[in-house]
Amino acid sequence: MKKINLYILAFSLLLPLITRAQAISPSGIKPEQVQIGRNGDYIQIGMRINLDNIDLDSQEMIVLTPVAMSEDRVTMHTFAPVVITGTKRNKALNRALEFGSYEFPNPPQQIVPKNSVQYIPLNLSLPYNQWMHSGILAFKEERIGCACENEYINNYDIAQILPPVFNPEYTLSYITPPVEEVKRRSETYSARLNFKVNRYEILHDFKNNAQVLSEVGQIIEEVRNDPNLTVSEFLITGYASPEGNFQSNMTLSENRAKSFVNYLSNTYAIDPSTIKTDWKGEDWDGLRKVVADLHISDRQNVLDIIDNEPDILTRKNKLKQLSGGETYRMLLQDYYPPLRRNEYTISYVARSFSIDEAKEKIKTKPQHLSLNEMYLVANSYTKNSEDFKQVFEIATRIYPDDPVARLNSATLSLENKDTNAAIKQLETVNLPEAWNNLGIAYIQKEEYEMAKVYFDKAANMGLNTATYNSEQLSKWLEAQQW
């Protein structure tokens, strides 16, 4: 007998493949070397049908129809059958087909006499579809003893077409912020008091000083009377505007700061031991910040002089020369006065809050909460609810430089599919949890190699979540080959 193995060569080029040995059917037909692989948009199926043990009388024939079915056997694709005939049946069938007296319901792809070959090669192809994962390749076997009578119909499964669909589940990393044992806070305010030229005495009725001092009193009383806070320190810093003599302005800023200290001590009976005093002299940083926001013709010239002229006297003279002195007069009149000020920083310790207390406090004084308290508040809400999202937004606003706050905020962005914003924020956080989340962000962007790099980087630092995510990605990539 002649052995036909040429189809195996063609299928050796298809990777990956599913190969299974098959049992003999009731008629003795044995499908062998079943190979199934995906080649682009098509599924290729190859096998050989071993006829060594076939039980077929001379007058009989078997119609063997391959069928691809979904796992629930609802969707199916029927291929052209293979017909195996006994010796006499083959002759009669050829005559009937030649004269048109017999017609197959589904025209066969091959008609093979029983004793003519040992193996029948069978190559099948069909367009890929999702239902083929966990789908079944089966044979419908009809044994026919005469032109009008079906002796039996037998159906049996051959192989699974493709492995089940693998749906990866990636885990994002949030970090529970550590408990802050002592919540030390400070808030800085400006008291833009008006002073007479070259004087430092605080005059209550001079210009708008009454309003400024009233605002100072409200802030101090609010902080001191808050039962949740314990004030620990007042820091008073004096500033002068940058006109006149540099050293005189340094002394002036010192005296104005000390004058403000005396006012606070006498008016609010503040313990002098809790008050610290500092002075900065001419506030060039404040002037630069003001000018940077102005829309004037000499804006860049002023900034260049401030940034590049180290000698103070020369710097002042250059400013006076801009636009024939017009720019300097405008600065002196409109923007120098607010620089003559005292700043006061109130440092305090905030007590710890229960979750219910923190849920109320976050609406009014979120700066009194620790990151840990905010995190617990967030997790008291349904995940991804508006309340949940709002807490993370507040945490990032109150603690913009805290890596844990940025990480958790970026993680929320990832859950909301705001991928680019999340990546931008995560790239500023040097933590394994951030690298893990960057891996998931790049999966969302379908940049799988970059995702693997970040997962492995985090896994190498001992983050088990990243190890799991890396394994999920590898399995999914492997499944895509099917």
Residue 456 sits in a domain of what CATH number?
1.25.40.10
Domain boundary among 325, 347, 369: 347
Structural domains in the chain (count) = 3
Of 7-21, 172-186, 218-232, 259-273, the range with the lowest mean pLDDT is 7-21
β-bridge pairing 42-50 and 61-69:
unpaired
Q: What is the pLDDT of residues 293-342, one digit of tens each?
A: 999 999 999 999 999 999 999 999 999 999 999 999 999 999 999 998 89
Determine, yes or no, domain membership for 228.
Answer: yes
Q: What is the pLDDT of residues 65-114, one digit of tens each?
A: 999 999 999 999 999 999 999 999 999 999 999 898 889 999 999 999 99
Are 335 and 467 found together in one domain? no
Determine, yes or no, domain membership for 170.
Answer: no
Q: What is the pLDDT of residues 448-474, one digit of tens each?
A: 999 999 999 999 999 999 999 999 999
Q: What is the pLDDT of residues 403-446, one digit of tens each?
A: 999 999 999 999 999 999 999 999 999 999 999 999 999 999 99
Are 446 and 380 found together in one domain? yes
Contacting residues for 52 by C-beta, under 8 A, at least 6 apart = 28, 30, 118
Are 339 and 193 found together in one domain? yes
To the nearest whole number, what is the mean pLDDT of the chain? 90
Record the tokens describing residue 48, joined without a space: 């050989």
CATH number at residue 154: 2.60.40
Q: Identify any residues that bridge with 112 across adjacent strands, giving them in sequence order.
A: 84
Determine, yes or no, domain membership for 178.
Answer: no
Q: How far apart are CA 340 and CA 197, in angstroms?
A: 11
Whole-model pTM: value is: 0.67
Give Cα separations from 113 to 80, 87, 88, 92 (angstroms). Answer: 17, 6, 9, 12
Q: Quick one: pLDDT at residue 151? A: 61
Contact of 442 with 458, CB cutoff 8 Å: no
Domain boundary among 320, 347, 374: 347
Determine, yes or no, domain membership for 167.
Answer: no
Q: How sure is the predictor about 7, in pLDDT bands with cuts at 50, 70 and 90?
A: very low
* H-run or E-run covering 304: helix 299-308
Give Cα separations from 439 to 192, 308, 353, 392 (angstroms). Answer: 50, 44, 36, 21
Q: How far apart are CA 66 and CA 138, in angstroms?
A: 6
Number of residues assigned to the chain:
482
Q: Quick one: pLDDT at residue 156? A: 87
Query: What range defines the domain where residue 371 resides?
Result: 353-480
Contact of 374 with 355, CB cutoff 8 Å: no
Q: Quick one: pLDDT at residue 21? A: 44
* H-run or E-run covering 143: strand 136-146
Domain boundary among 327, 347, 367: 347
Contact of 150 with 142, CB cutoff 8 Å: yes
Are 318 and 275 found together in one domain? yes
Q: Quick one: pLDDT at residue 383? A: 85
Determine, yes or no, domain membership for 203.
Answer: yes
Q: What is the pLDDT of residues 165-223, one digit of tens each?
A: 889 999 999 999 999 999 999 999 999 888 887 888 999 998 899 999 999 999 999 99
End-to-end C-alpha distance for the chain, whole angstroms: 36
If you average pLDDT over residues 286-297, what whole number do you get? 95
Record the tokens describing residue 281, joined without a space: 């002299």
